[in-house]
Amino acid sequence: MFHRPRASALAVALTLALALASATGRAGAGQGDHPPAEKGDFSEAVEGASALEGRIRAPCCWNQTLDIHGSESANELRREIRRRLKAGETQDAIQADFVRRYGEKILAVPPGNPLKDVGVILSLLFGASGIGALFMLARWRKRTLADRALEAAAGKKSKKKPERDAYDDQIDAELEKL
């Protein structure tokens, strides 16, 4: 038998789950309201098509590139790209034609955008910091090995006991009392 607190908690949890599921469904549908691209249209691999589709934005909403957008206008441009690449046109010629037809807004990264330079600079900085870290680790290891060798050499030369002071005697006396 259900107790009142359990039944009401279960009802609240079920209501929240249904509300969350419906909100999630609406949020996913709101991203352009376009059906997903059908795989059957683009199952054949065409060299250079995916690279070009990643550089061109969908002209229906200008939010996503062609390679991930699922609208019919994006699919039509994908078909055109594949057809033209099969016919022997270059990626640059197709891209230039799209820029002529739609403007530079069609490009995911327009010319003159500093985003390309930032990527190159960050790559160089990360590489340089990695090389610097390797040199530091090598230097630390070299120092540690040298310190161990000095300690070993010093330990072999002096076999005498370490010096004791008044505190050592006091600690020994208190330990004996215990």
Residue 1: predicted pLDDT: 46
Amino acid at 38: E
How far apart CA 69 and CA 169 sit, in angstroms, is 81
Residue 21: predicted pLDDT: 55
Residue 14: predicted pLDDT: 61
Residue 136: predicted pLDDT: 95
Instruction: Report CA torsion sign: 40, 46, 50, 53.
Output: negative
Residue 38: predicted pLDDT: 46
How far apart CA 169 and CA 113 sit, in angstroms, is 75
How far apart CA 95 and CA 116 sit, in angstroms, is 18
Contact 66, 53 (CB under 8 A): yes
Residue 148: predicted pLDDT: 84
Spell out the per-residue pLDDT of the chain, length 178, in tens: 444 556 566 666 666 565 555 554 444 444 444 444 444 456 677 777 788 888 888 888 888 888 887 788 888 888 888 888 888 888 888 888 888 898 888 888 777 777 777 888 999 999 999 999 999 999 999 888 888 888 877 766 666 666 788 899 899 999 999 8
**Structure pTM?**
0.46
**Which CATH number describes the domain made up of 39-106?**
1.10.8
How far apart CA 55 and CA 66 sit, in angstroms, is 8
